[in-house]
Chain A
Amino acid sequence: MSHRRLLVLALIAGLPGFAGAQFTTFIPPQHKVADSIKAAVVAQQKAQTDTSIQTQLANMKTWVDSAAGLVPTPTTAVPDSTNVVVPPMPAPAPAPVPTLPPQTPADSVAMRNGVRAPATASVLPLLLLLGGLSLATGVTLLRAAPAPTRPANRGRDGA
């Protein structure tokens, strides 16, 4: 067996090992599903921890209030932070506005809080103006239009 044949045989036997070494150093991509699950577990644990802290704080406040002789206010349920839907922040309570009852046009008959001013609007000036204008126009038209010719006059003119 010549040296060349030995070298070929050595290459044939060694190449798969080399190739295998290459595959053993392959770094697989991160498994996203596994990561998200892991993150969810961590987040849930953290949320549970936070929730328990909030609950403890709320209980402590209740305890302090009761120890101080104050009436304990009902604590609201602590929302679960792991929920996908985040509950909206409670809006601050609006300033108390005096509630006004619904009002109808007939409400101008009795005094109460938040009532409209009485309907003192009068159409008499408008009627007076329209009447005066109409009367003046009518009289003007009557005066401008000559009286219709009489048949007797027409016959006399024709003769």
Chain B
Amino acid sequence: MARNAGVSSRRLIGAGLALAGGVLVTFAGVRYAVGTVRADEARSAWEAQQAQAAVDRARSLVADRGPAPSVAGAPVARIMIPRIDLDAIVLEGVSDDELNAGPGHFPGSALPGDPGNAVISAHRDRHFSHFDELSLGDTVVTEARGQRNVWVIVSRRVVDKDSRALFRTADATLTLTTCWPIRYFGPAPDRLIITAKPVATHAHPQAVALRTD
């Protein structure tokens, strides 16, 4: 009788652990899946937006540089880093929802290519998961507001998560941030901050893409 009670309690504990583990794994998996779906939606919206911008430019209905977008979650830029095969659509905002779907553009900072400091952040376990492989001199390409900018990484530093490390700049600067260390379970205690300076600017990315094709 006592043996049956021990076996029953062990099975009960096992079932509870399995259930809790299943819930945790499912939650994390659903969160990742939602992020992936939202990233795809953001890419579709970005492509539609770029196509509309190209049509508008062709019709000369709008100026090349429109007003700054401020809608949270809206696609505002595209970032490409060939070194780590990154090609992602940047969303406006750095809240959990935006960062779950893609890199987030820090509200109030400049857009890539505009004068000022453009800050883009992302999770270390998703879009910026290979940021530890970046080094000085690597190239970053951004597209925003109808222009393509090529940047070169000039600075790479690790700061405490509470460090006030972001500042406005007068000239065009691209700042990429993520958590550090990259391989870390739990909330990472530090931040990796990568700074890049522009080396080339091309107007109308579609035109550049057509020429290169």
Binding site for B on A (CB under 8 A): 100, 103, 108-142, 144-146, 148-149
Contacts and interface: CB of A to CB of B under 8 A. Distances in A.
A104 B170 CA distance: 26
B139 interface: no
A50 to B, nearest CB: 49
Contacts of B99: 118, 120, 122
Given A123-B187, A141-B10, A146-B7, A135 B125 contact: no
Given A111-B119, A124-B125, A142-B11, A117 B166 contact: yes
Contacts of A108: 94
Contacts of A145: 7, 10-11, 14
- Ranked 8 nearest A-B pairs via Cβ: A131-B24, A141-B14, A135-B21, A138-B18, A138-B17, A134-B21, A111-B108, A131-B25
Contacts of B22: 131, 135
**Among B4, B11, B161, residue most surrounded by chain A Cβ atoms (within 10 Å):** B11
Contacts of A139: 14, 18
Interface in B101-137: 104, 106-109, 117, 119, 121-126, 128
B83 interface: no
B21 A136 contact: yes
A120 B124 contact: yes
Given A138-B21, A142-B18, A148 B164 contact: no
Contacts of B27: 127, 131
B21 A111 contact: no
10 contacts: A114-B167, A116-B191, A117-B165, A120-B124, A127-B27, A128-B24, A131-B24, A136-B21, A137-B21, A141-B17
Is chain B's interface secondary structure helix, strand, loop, or mixed overall?
A: mixed
A134 B109 contact: no
Given A134-B20, A146-B7, 6 more contacts: A114-B167, A117-B121, A125-B186, A131-B26, A138-B20, A141-B13
A128 to B, nearest CB: 4
Contact of B24 (A109, A119, A120, A130): A130
A128 B29 CA distance: 8
Contacts of B109: 111
B8 to A, nearest CB: 6
B182 to A, nearest CB: 10
A82 B123 CA distance: 68
Nearest to B72: A109
B110 to A, nearest CB: 8
B187 A121 contact: yes
Contacts of B95: 109
B164 A100 contact: yes
Given A120-B122, A131-B24, A137 B8 contact: no
Nearest to A105: B162
Contacts of B193: 117
